[in-house]
């Protein structure tokens, strides 16, 4: 039941940002969380981070991609995720990658959890309360989102790795992965936030640009 959390920061890549070469790709880092019983790995990535020279405003960020890579180590296919959000904001819905296609999302909280039901493509359904009580899964959290496979795309099968989930995200969110029968495959806490790495990178660009102006 031990949750393993580790983070690697590409220090050499950070140092390279001071050089500001044109179209320079910098990988900011990777953080990996294993579920409590090791059935799910969620890896956060932010790469590539592209810095380019521009004749008008000096340095700019051309591209930055943050995503979660999900690997299923369990026996059952992952048909959905319940993820805490702790606000009524939109980031989880907005940033579920459209490339995942046939996944749906709904918002929930402690008051609606017991009455919420989700439906799969084969017309089967589960009540969210079958996953456990809100208090058990999301202690001290106000709100959350549920994502589930509702169309033609298969669940994340045993042994499969699939990317493109939860772009942007919110920091330190609890999550529960479940199958189409409502059985919990794995759960953990404190999903990292790719967007924070993006902001860090942009801050580095700003510092470098300010230094260039002082030197000039």
Range of the domain at 171: 5-215
pTM: 0.63
DSSP 3-state of 114 = helix
Cα–Cα distance for residue pair 59/204, rounded to 1 Å = 11
Give me the helices (H) in 72-190, please. Answer: 91-95, 134-137
User: What residues contact residue 104 under an 8 Å CB cut-off, 6+ apart?
Assistant: 118, 147, 148, 150, 151
* Residues 26-54: tens digit of each pLDDT: 444 556 667 777 888 877 665 544 555 55
The overall average pLDDT reported for the chain is 65
Domain count, the chain: 1
pLDDT in tens for each of the 216 residues of the chain? 333 332 332 333 333 334 333 333 344 455 666 777 788 887 766 554 455 555 555 555 444 455 667 889 989 999 888 887 665 544 444 445 444 556 777 788 889 999 999 988 778 899 999 999 998 888 877 788 787 877 656 788 999 988 766 544 455 567 788 998 999 998 875 555 444 444 444 444 444 444 444 445
């Amino acid at each position: 039941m031990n949750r393993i959390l580790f983070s690697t920061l590409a220090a050499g890549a950070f140092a390279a940002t001071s050089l500001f070469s044109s179209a320079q790709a910098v990988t900011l880092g990777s953080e990996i969380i294993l579920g409590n019983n090791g059935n799910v790995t969620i890896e956060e990535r932010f790469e590539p981070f592209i810095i380019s020279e521009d004749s008008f405003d000096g340095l700019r960020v051309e591209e930055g991609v943050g995503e979660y890579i999900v690997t299923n180590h369990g026996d059952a296919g992952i048909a959905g995720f319940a993820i805490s959000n702790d606000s009524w904001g939109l980031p989880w819905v907005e940033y579920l990658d459209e490339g995942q296609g046939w996944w749906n999302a709904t918002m929930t909280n402690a008051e609606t959890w017991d009455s919420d039901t989700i439906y799969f493509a084969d017309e089967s359904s589960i009540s969210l309360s079958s996953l456990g009580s809100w208090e058990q899964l999301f202690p001290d959290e106000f709100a959350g989102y549920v994502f589930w496979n509702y169309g033609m795309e298969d669940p994340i099968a045993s042994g499969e790795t699939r990317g493109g989930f939860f772009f942007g995200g919110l920091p330190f969110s609890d999550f529960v992965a479940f199958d189409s029968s409502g059985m919990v495959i794995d759960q953990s806490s404190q999903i990292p936030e790719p967007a924070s790495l993006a902001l860090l990178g942009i801050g580095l660009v700003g510092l470098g640009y300010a230094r260039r102006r002082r030197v000039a």
